Amino acid sequence: MSRPRILQKVRSACRVKPPAPLPSGYPGAPRFQDPVDVFRRELEAVGGVFLDARNRNPAETLSQVLEQTGHTEVFWEEEKIFTKHGLPYRLRLPESFSTPNLVFSYHYQGRVRLPITLAARSIELDRLAAIPVSASSAAFGIAETGTIVQTVGPGRGRLLNVLPETHIVFLAQGDLLSNMDQLLQRIRPGEEGSALTLVTGPSRTADIGKVLVKGMHGPRRWFVILTEDGG
């Protein structure tokens, strides 16, 4: 192509054109009659495991997770998980909870019994890296994509969510939303912690050679346990 033709094309492309009309509103966000079923389907589509504990003893559901993973210990993000999701618990050596520690429970042969007995261990980096199973509570769930929304704040960091091979998330039914638009309406900047983390299923990446690798940036196993609205 000759130089004059190239310049002519450039000039033509640079001519001011009438701007496209702006949309009058946002695209409609989907709302689901049964967001639980949609959330389950979307979560399982990306390799997550959905467990409905609304009409079931939560100890049985947690035992099911430990049976699948072959572990006997669960490290918990914070005590508030138990009151929010209706999990009876008691503290072993309550004085050990007065300082920041790792909170965990041991379950003989992977069988969980209520109340769950919580113990505490000192926080050490090598111990964190070796944790097999951790549990946290979701701030919200998004049915449209099977996504869990978690908060980060004082005493509630991200290490227990990303270091262990298996992570369990408890999600209250009242916190399950249909879409991202509902999430943006529910969150209050400055009141939800220092950051929000959106996670959809187990960790996976295909950055290298387009080969799918699981567990590269977080847990290989991702369980979501749906509960009735607690305290």
Q: Give 43-77 pLDDT, tens digit per residue.
A: 999 999 999 999 888 889 999 999 999 999 999 98
The Cα 37–Cα 205 span in angstroms is: 26
Token pair of 115, please? 């109340």
Total domain count for the chain?
1
- 48: Cβ–Cβ under 8 A, 6 or more apart, which residues? 146, 200, 201, 202, 222, 223, 224
Point out the least confidently predicted range of 22-36, 111-125, 141-155, 205-219: 205-219
Question: Which residue did the predictor score with more confidence, 154 or 105?
Answer: 105
**18 domain residue, yes or no:** no
**108 domain residue, yes or no:** yes
**22 domain residue, yes or no:** no
What integer best gives the mean pLDDT of the chain? 85
- List the beta bridge partners of residue 135: 76, 168
Share of the chain above pLDDT 90, in %: 45
CATH number of the CATH domain containing 96? 3.40.50.10420
Distances (CA, A) of 108 to 45, 62, 70, 212: 32, 13, 11, 35
Query: Is the predicted pLDDT of residue 96 greater than 80, yes or no?
Result: no
**23 domain residue, yes or no:** no
Residues 58/87, Cβ–Cβ less than 8 Å: yes
**5 domain residue, yes or no:** no
**101 domain residue, yes or no:** yes
Q: Could you report the per-residue pLDDT of 106-128, keeping only the tens digit for each? A: 999 999 999 999 998 877 777 77
Of 14-18, 50-54, 215-219, the range with the highest mean pLDDT is 50-54
Distances (CA, A) of 58 to 76, 113, 223: 15, 9, 14
**3 domain residue, yes or no:** no
Q: Helix or strand or coil: residue 74?
A: strand
The Cα 148–Cα 152 span in angstroms is: 13
Query: Is the predicted pLDDT of residue 175 greater than 80, yes or no?
Result: yes
The Cα 210–Cα 224 span in angstroms is: 28
Q: Could you report the per-residue pLDDT of 185-197, keeping only the tens digit for each? A: 888 766 666 678 8
Q: Which domain holds residue 74?
A: 32-227
**6 domain residue, yes or no:** no
Residues 195/161, Cβ–Cβ less than 8 Å: no
